[in-house]
Amino acid sequence: MAMQIGFFLAIIVLATGFQAASENQPEFVQICHLYQLMTEPIAPITLTQGAGEGTKTSPLAAVQTIMARTQKLNISVAEDGINTVLADKTKYKNKAAIDGDAAVKGYFTDKTDDDITRLRTEYEEITTASGDSAAFRKKYCTPLNKQQRDALRAPISTLYAKLIGVRDEIKHRTERANSLISSARVTLAKAVYGDAAITPIETQIKPEAPLHTITPANVPLHAGGNRNAVCKTAGTTSNKAGMALATDMLCICLKHQ
């Protein structure tokens, strides 16, 4: 009779435990989902250009593409003195040669040799009829005659100046957003794996890259230990199960060895 009572009590205990586990199962799933969200890479801010899935690019890259096109338009309405310099690579081979001609040096006061090389490349792209240059010439009807250049110079110059302001604002906001994202990534990593594990590698953490691999045999909350050692018994000891959400999250979501 005593054996039968013990048998029935065992069944009751097992049933109660199974019911408790079943009731906690949704919570465990949610905790592990949270664990996944907190450890996943954070995708960079992008824009999608084109039909369907399109091409992903950063806001700064998108505005720089627009600026490159506008820069070509800006050159296409340049004054005759600028065109003279850009067209003659022999006489005006560098900044020093340009500065030696009083008639044109004023156009390039704040330019370097690299700037002049870039401007000359863009000038050739809008005045030649090959490759991508042909498409640009066809779309914008370049090169323009003097009357067209004179009429369009002021509005295109104004547009370009405004684009510079937009680019600088986007650059500032992008840098600010990236700083916040990087900080959030480190904060989330510390919440999951603990300060001791993350602080030494904090500067190496990239928002878009996976965190260093954590396995049941490599639990950072327990020096030299593994998941079983950390999760064996709940208690009030630092870095043990039951002490913090971070520890319990790892105990629940990392499989027992």
Task: Report the chain (257 residues): mean pLDDT per 10 consecutive residues.
Answer: 42 41 65 83 83 80 88 89 92 92 90 91 80 77 88 91 92 92 88 78 85 61 61 58 59 64
Q: Cα(106)–Cα(43) distance, rounded to whole angstroms?
A: 47
Q: What is the pLDDT of residue 15?
A: 43
237-243 long-range contacts (CB < 8 A, ≥24 apart) are: 239/194
Q: What is the pLDDT of residue 2?
A: 47
* Torsion from C-alpha of 133, 139, 142, 144, nearest 10 degrees: -170
Half-sphere exposure in the Cβ direction for 27 (13 Å, CA): 8
Q: What is the pLDDT of residue 14?
A: 41
Task: Identify the bridge partners of residue 56 per DSSP, sorted by sequence position.
Answer: 48
Q: What is the pLDDT of residue 216?
A: 56
Q: Cα(41)–Cα(151) distance, rounded to whole angstroms?
A: 51
Helical segments of the chain, H only: 2-39, 59-76, 80-87, 95-99, 113-127, 131-140, 146-193, 195-198, 227-231, 245-253
Q: What is the pLDDT of residue 182?
A: 92
Name the phi and psi angles at 242, rounded to 5.
90, -10
Q: What is the pLDDT of residue 253?
A: 78
pTM of this prediction? 0.65
Q: What is the pLDDT of residue 131?
A: 63
Domain ranges in the chain? 59-174, 213-257
Q: What is the pLDDT of residue 219?
A: 57
Q: Cα(146)–Cα(152) distance, rounded to whole angstroms?
A: 10
